[in-house]
Amino acid sequence: MEKLLSTYIQEALDFYSIGKWADFKGTLEKGIAKCTTPYSSYDNDLAKAYALLAAHHTNHAFKRIKCRTAYQAMAINNFDQLDSLGQREDPHLQVTKGYLWMLSSSRAQDADALFIRVLRKQRRNILALIGRACLAYNRQDYIGALGYFKSVLMIQPQGPVDVRVGIGHCFRMMGELEKARMSFQMALEYNAQCQNAMLGLALIKLNQREEQTYQEGKLLLAAAFDLNKHNPDVLSILASLYYLDGNHKMVWCLAGNALRSTDSKQMESLNYFQIAKSYHATGQFESAKKFYVLSVKVAPEGYVLPYVGMAQMYLNEGELHRAKACLEAFLKYEPDEPVVMGLLAKIYLEERSPGQIEKAIEMLVKVVASYSRDFNSWLSLAFAYEQKRLWPQTVNAYQKAISICSVQGHHIPIEWLNNLANSQLMAKMPAQALETLDDALSKCRTSNGDHKTTNLLTLHYNRGLVLEELHRFDLAEENYKGIIKGYPTYYDCYLRLGVMAMQKNELAHAIEYFKDVLNEDNSSLTARTYMGDCFNRLSLDKYATFNYNMILASQSKFKDTYVTMAMGNFCLKKLQTWMAGGNFRAARKQQEKALHFFGTVLDCNPRNLWAANGIGAVLSSCKNLSAGAAIFMQIIESGNKCLPAILNSAHIALERGQYRLAIQTYERCLKDFLPKNCVDVMHYLAKALYDEGSTRQAKMWLLKVRHLAPQDPFVIFNLALTIKKEADQALALPRPQLDELKSIVEELKVAYNYFYHLNLNHPKISVHASAKCANECQKLMVDLVVKQDQVRESLASAEDRIRLQNQRYQAHLEHLRQQARQREEEDRVLRENQNAQRMEVLERARKIFSAPLLSEVPKKSTGNGRGRKNQQKEGQEANKASKDGTPKKKSCKRAAAKEQEQDTLKKPKSREFIDTDDDSSDDGCTERRLNNIIINHNSA
């Protein structure tokens, strides 16, 4: 009887329970192949068999790394069969398929989608939650992974131990090491044999960098290794520990075993890298390079540790270009790694390509900012600044390196002090350079190094250079002669003595020093160059040309651009001489030679600004001012490094009549680039001011030049000429000052004496020109005397006019004052009259007030009450009159008395009363009181 498929499934499960994986798989495959006859539950059993096979293949794909691809293919085949059976939506199969996709980074999103689909149906599916947590961890979403792991523990607090391990790793990657340590310890409490928990706890203890925790971490790693000797993580970490201990054989063994147990590209690259490092440390560079190459080859994107080792191998072989490419690839992902930046900066400094030195400085600045106590980085930065000729920064970097080295207790090399002194000298700090050299000499005398003699000799020579910069030529000469006394063949001292003699214009002595060098070394190009310069300055063209030709003849073996430049300058000088003499044919030949020499220098170095300046000078000397000005402008725009080009641009501006531009350029050169007592430039500046018409400023500059070069006949002539022109300008003024004319006359006398002296004693100055100027000075002095008389007369007439105007003005003022006094007197008299009138009125008022009032005496009645009767009759008539509106006629006596009384009251209002504003209040009050009294008197 044929077995059912369900029977094969049960047998396979029995094999699985006792750990016989091969029999488990073989039984299932045999059952599927033989049981082809359908029965009632055949489809379900077939789906179950394929599901078991898919789970088995997925599990082995996780464990058997070397055969992972094959197991993945078989699992995928099983899932395809399940899909054909309609089992696509089964949650368990979807979870298993999700774990299978997790093994491929390209299918991570598909795996996540499967887990999400399962969780929508079964929110408490633990395997799906763990799968999502692992995927979140792989994409460095540690907070999300931590949330999924915690969700698993909330659903099942006694869940898998690996969940707590996952939580510990999330905390470790988030930097919360204490929580990570607690999670790993809790995992070990649940399962003391959990290798992943041991590994995580070991990493935490090793990273604490303490002796006790370091030993505990090693013990945990050893225990994890005993549990599983094929775990690539444990093997790799153990290999790194043995590398630190110097046991390279164990490194090769452990890293090799880790390579066999992993298919992770990053893990493979890491172990290749560890093997390469071990070979590198033991000096086996060929093997080290081989494994570095393998590590770089299999490294995933972003894993750049092997590039540093490869760069070191290329540097050891002298392949700077490849080493630079490796280090730049490393910095692309780790841009702030100081060690790599320092190494790459040194390569840039070695190459010296355009723009590379700036990059090196930028990197070294970052390095010293991160590791400020690393004196090697400061030394590299000083060397970089040296190449850019940034001398103050160079001095600071050397001082930092020396200070750090001294604080750390290291011996300071004499070479560092010598380099510091040289940088201080170039940074225009000669006093500090002298102190540094004296300190270096004192230390060098007490040391017993192999190069003591050479160092002492170099330091003494550099001390002479510093003394020259300090203008202590006597001490410098003594220093050089002291070196020559001990070392007669030290020809550099002869050269310096000759140069010092040239600076003092002792050309004969300088030639003797250069001859001493040539007697011992006839091929010394430097001595011949200086000698040619001396002969050139002495106008001994034949000897100068001989020395220059000797140097040029030897240039087939040795290229000396300085000598070529000297020959070009010599031809340029001859060109200018011939042009001034009018020999244009000879000038053209010298022009061709000069252009040839300067062009040769530019062929050797296209960035040679002095050669370009020479070409511009040649063109300008041949009256091609536009081309020369264009060349000088290009040189200036490239940087203010070539001072002759700046001066030549000012000369051309002066020649073109652009006086203001020439003046500004000369002043800038004197302020920023030249010493303040540069006679030639000051003379040119005075000429520009003279041509512009600023004779007073030109005279001031020429007086300074006269003070610095009192015997120069050209300075004397130009100073006298400037004084004469200033006199011309003063004479042309419409209203000059008398004092100014007097001072100009005195200066004109001095100018006349200058011209007279030059006419008699200096043949270099044209006799005709000096005599002519002297005669003009005499004429100007006569004219100025006449002008002075005119000014005096005009001043006298002006004084008389002013005096007369003042007199008139004073008389006018006196007249105005008299008028004012007269008006004041009239006002005073008027006020007195008014006051008198007012007092008279007031006196009258007081008399009226003081007069007694007249009392009315009643009349006696006559006859039988006739008086009363008459009174009543009069009263009735009065009433009747009032009613009728017609007044009643009074008696004659009463009318006369009343009229007399009114006349008496009207007397104060006569024409003698004067009403004023000042006393209106008092007089009004008095008038009102008077009216009241009159009314009361009438009523009475």
Token pair belonging to 268: 């493979």
The per-residue pLDDT for range 479-516, each reduced to its tens digit, is 999 999 988 888 899 999 999 999 888 889 999 999 99
pLDDT of residue 940: 36
Contact criterion met (CB below 8 Å) for 568 and 597: yes
Q: Does 336-412 carry CATH code 1.25.40.10? A: yes
Contact criterion met (CB below 8 Å) for 102 and 60: no
CA angle 326, 329, 334 (to 5 degrees): 120
Q: 548, 556, 594: which is closest to 574 by C-alpha?
A: 594
Q: 137, 68, 56, 130: which is closest to 104 by C-alpha?
A: 68
pLDDT of residue 900: 53
- Please list the alpha-helical segments (H only) found in 659-737: 659-668, 679-692, 695-708, 713-731
The DSSP secondary-structure symbol of 670 reads I
Contact criterion met (CB below 8 Å) for 294 and 272: yes
pTM for the structure as a whole: 0.58
Q: Which amino acid is at 685?
A: L
Instruction: State the burial class of residue 125 (Cβ atoms within 10 Å of its Cβ: 0-12, 13-18, 19+).
Output: buried
As a whole number of angstroms, the distance between CA 169 and CA 765 comes to 97
The DSSP secondary-structure symbol of 673 reads I
Domain limits, the chain: 336-412, 506-558, 711-805
Instruction: State the burial class of residue 939 (Cβ atoms within 10 Å of its Cβ: 0-12, 13-18, 19+).
Output: exposed
Contact criterion met (CB below 8 Å) for 492 and 484: no
For tokens 């090793």, the residue is 206
Q: 838, 855, 863, 808: which is closest to 926 by C-alpha?
A: 838
Report residues of the chain scoring pLDDT below 70: 1-2, 66, 449-450, 552, 554-560, 640, 853-940
Contact criterion met (CB below 8 Å) for 160 and 144: no
Q: For residue 546, what are the contacts with CB-CB under 8 A and spacing of at least 6?
A: none
Q: For residue 211, what are the contacts with CB-CB under 8 A and spacing of at least 6?
A: none
Token pair belonging to 812: 């006018």
Contact criterion met (CB below 8 Å) for 181 and 156: no
As a whole number of angstroms, the distance between CA 629 and CA 701 comes to 26
Q: Which amino acid is at 783?
A: D
Contact criterion met (CB below 8 Å) for 926 and 842: yes
Q: Which amino acid is at 856?
A: E
Specify the 3-state DSSP secondary structure of 538: coil
Task: Give φ, ψ of 48 to 5 degrees.
Answer: -65, -40
As a whole number of angstroms, the distance between CA 689 and CA 674 comes to 19
For tokens 């160092």, the residue is 455
pLDDT of residue 689: 92
pLDDT of residue 854: 57
As a whole number of angstroms, the distance between CA 17 and CA 19 comes to 6
As a whole number of angstroms, the distance between CA 493 and CA 476 comes to 10
Specify the 3-state DSSP secondary structure of 909: helix
Q: 289, 263, 267, 259: which is closest to 277 by C-alpha?
A: 289
Alpha carbon 48 to chain centroid distance?
Answer: 74
Q: 595, 577, 599: which is closest to 586 by C-alpha?
A: 577
As a whole number of angstroms, the distance between CA 923 and CA 850 comes to 17
Query: What is the C-alpha R_g of the chain?
Result: 60
pLDDT of residue 2: 63
As a whole number of angstroms, the distance between CA 812 and CA 806 comes to 10
Within 10 angstroms of residue 883's Cβ, the number of other Cβ atoms is: 8
As a whole number of angstroms, the distance between CA 244 and CA 246 comes to 5
As a whole number of angstroms, the distance between CA 47 and CA 36 comes to 13
For tokens 């995928």, the residue is 76
Q: 590, 612, 601: which is closest to 541 by C-alpha?
A: 590
Q: 745, 738, 730, 746: which is closest to 796 by C-alpha?
A: 738
Within 10 angstroms of residue 190's Cβ, the number of other Cβ atoms is: 14
Contact criterion met (CB below 8 Å) for 342 and 364: yes
CA angle 722, 723, 727 (to 5 degrees): 115
The per-residue pLDDT for range 71-127, each reduced to its tens digit, is 888 888 888 888 888 777 788 888 888 888 888 878 888 888 988 988 988 888 888
As a whole number of angstroms, the distance between CA 182 and CA 628 comes to 82
Q: For residue 433, what are the contacts with CB-CB under 8 A and spacing of at least 6?
A: 421, 422, 424, 425, 466, 469
Torsion of CA 374, 376, 378, 384, to 10 degrees: -150
Q: For residue 914, what are the contacts with CB-CB under 8 A and spacing of at least 6?
A: 834, 837, 838, 841
What is the phi-psi region of residue 766: left when phi exceeds 0, alpha when psi lies from -120 to 50, beta otherwise?
A: beta
Element (H, E) at 261: none
Token pair belonging to 874: 């009069």
As a whole number of angstroms, the distance between CA 54 and CA 92 comes to 11
